[in-house]
Amino acid sequence: MSELSGSGTASVRESDLVELDDAAADELFDALATETARAVLVACHERPRTAAELAEAVDADGETVRNCLSELAAADLVTVVGTRDETDVYAPADTGLVVVGDGADGSDDGYYRRLAGVLAALAVGGLAVGLVSPDTAVAAATFVGGGLLVLVGLVAVDSLLS
């Protein structure tokens, strides 16, 4: 097997935010509509592969996999990261993806309250680790970090709600 050539890395981006009423959401859901497309994406997450390797991994014919890859690439879910034996090698796009509603019905408050709950749970977990750690420096740092996380989170949520 020859070496993978090309840049070897996809460009690093911030998380993509896709609103449900956006055209990008249609493209995203279309790209993930089939079980084969989802299996191809999972296989790409396991390791970069050529279309033929992906077809073998997901037990599908090459044409179906190439169509899935085309749709996944159009939705920015996979990208070509190089070539192997003059064949494109695919990997997941180096981005996070967040799908949200438009919030036009005023439901943002519930979202931000859930966010505050998650931040509080993380901070409490951090505080608990800090309290039971045998290393005093780790305990103190975790305790202070957890407290600061709660403080920052509450300030952020309060500003979003007001």
| Verdict on whether the full-model pTM lies above 0.85 | no
- The pLDDT assigned to 79 comes to 92
Q: Which DSSP category does 5 fall into? A: B
Backbone angles phi, psi at 81, to 5 degrees: -105, 0
CATH code for the structural domain at 16-98: 1.10.10.10
Using DSSP, state whether 80 is helix, strand or coil.
strand
- The pLDDT assigned to 7 comes to 43
Backbone angles phi, psi at 139, to 5 degrees: -60, -45
- The pLDDT assigned to 158 comes to 67
Asked if residues 49 and 65 have their Cβ atoms less than 8 Å apart, the reply is no
- The pLDDT assigned to 161 comes to 63
Using DSSP, state whether 113 is helix, strand or coil.
helix
* Mean pLDDT (10-residue bins), the chain, 162 residues: 44 55 80 92 92 96 95 90 93 70 55 61 61 64 67 69 62
Question: Which sequence spans correspond to the domains of the chain?
Answer: 16-98, 103-161
- The pLDDT assigned to 104 comes to 53
